[in-house]
Amino acid sequence: MSEYEIETAIIIFVFGLVIGSFLNVCIHRIPNDGLSIHFPHRSLCPNCQSPVLFYDNIPIISFLLLKGKCRSCHIRISTIYPVVELTTATIFLLLFYHFGLTLKMIQGCLLVSLFIPIAVIDTRWMIIPNTIILTGIITGLAVIILMTIFKQDINYLLQHILWAVVGGITIQGISILGRFAFRKESMGFGDTKLMILIGLFLGRWQSILTVLAVAAFTGSTIGIILIISRSKQPHSQIPFAPFLVTAATLDFIWHDQVWVAYLKLIGWQ
């Protein structure tokens, strides 16, 4: 690896940490009505509301130096903060090594920056905020239009729009069938909106199929494990968004490998 590549990788990793820190702000403020991600400008301790000083807001490092506690009230800081920062930076770095400094990498970084808060918020509050979905659709369309211009192929744009619609219709159809079969709400409309976003970014029917299959399999497996371990009751709701975004991220980066593995699993290859 050249010196330039190492330096670029470090910059991207640090940038990922900074974005991860911003995503933590989104995760904390967006689900809480009345809180803006822009104001107050300085982060506050969720417990004592003391402003977090700039030197206590350095991703990962400040958490370690403070030993995971607020400087003012000494209440333990949730480990979700460094986990989000480190996860964002690591995936950004992975996208760089896989795609290089390309529009595809930028598209992937944008996707991950949408997926991480969606997954955490759905896990903690069982909601998928419209704000994030709408932001994703607008910015996703902008990137796809830009890529369409570079490719000089209008079919690229039309294909992504088509599979966004198909993805949403498919999961909504599954939700309706589940409601009739189990006599209760099987999936929320938030999952439908999320699948529209996933279809827009991935833009392939194979991706829609594998994302739904992988998410359903992993979600069912984790659900069974949680029920057996008595962490969840049989009728408890389990957030589906984390499984959808994980499957979509894997497909975005390793589409060919995931698709081939899926075909082998069902015996088509």
What pLDDT, in 10s, does the model give residues 166-220? 999 999 998 888 777 766 666 778 899 999 999 999 999 999 999 999 999 999 8
* Whether residue 201 is found in the same domain as residue 259: yes
* Whether residue 91 is found in the same domain as residue 162: no
* Whether residue 192 is found in the same domain as residue 240: yes
Q: What is the mean pLDDT of residues 108-121?
A: 97
Of the two residues 148 and 178, the one the predictor is more confident about is 148
Q: What is the mean pLDDT of residues 229-250?
A: 86
Structure tokens at 29: 């403020």
* Whether residue 135 is found in the same domain as residue 260: yes
* Whether residue 44 is found in the same domain as residue 117: no
Which pLDDT score is estimated for 258? 86
How many whole angstroms separate alpha carbon 70 and alpha carbon 199?
41
Residue 41, pLDDT > 70, answer no
Of 72, 101, 130, the last residue of a domain is 101
* Whether residue 8 is found in the same domain as residue 111: no
* Whether residue 117 is found in the same domain as residue 238: yes
How many whole angstroms separate alpha carbon 248 and alpha carbon 112?
10
Residue 39, pLDDT > 70, answer no
* Whether residue 202 is found in the same domain as residue 261: yes
Of 45, 68, 101, the last residue of a domain is 101
Of 50, 82, 101, the last residue of a domain is 101
Angle formed at CA 23 by CA 22 and CA 25, multiple of 5 degrees: 65
Q: What is the mean pLDDT of residues 141-153?
A: 93
Nearest to 119 by CA among 191, 174, 59, 170: 191
Which pLDDT score is estimated for 130? 93
Cβ contacts of 233 within 8 Å, gap of 6 or more: 227
* Whether residue 145 is found in the same domain as residue 258: yes
Q: What is the mean pLDDT of residues 93-97?
A: 96
Residue 268, pLDDT > 80, answer no
Which pLDDT score is estimated for 169? 94
Residue 231, pLDDT > 80, answer no
Where does the pLDDT of residue 229 fall: very low under 50, low under 70, confident under 90, or very high at 90 and above?
confident
User: What's the number of domains the chain is made of?
Assistant: 2
Residue % of the chain over a pLDDT of 90: 59
Q: Please, where are the H alpha helices in 35-79?
A: 61-65
* Whether residue 217 is found in the same domain as residue 127: yes
Q: What is the mean pLDDT of residues 74-83?
A: 90
How many whole angstroms separate alpha carbon 235 and alpha carbon 18?
39
Q: What is the pTM of this model?
A: 0.91
Identify the domain containing residue 150 by its residue range: 102-269
* Whether residue 88 is found in the same domain as residue 113: no
How many whole angstroms separate alpha carbon 92 and alpha carbon 257?
20
Nearest to 89 by CA among 109, 73, 70: 109
* Whether residue 207 is found in the same domain as residue 130: yes
Which pLDDT score is estimated for 250? 95
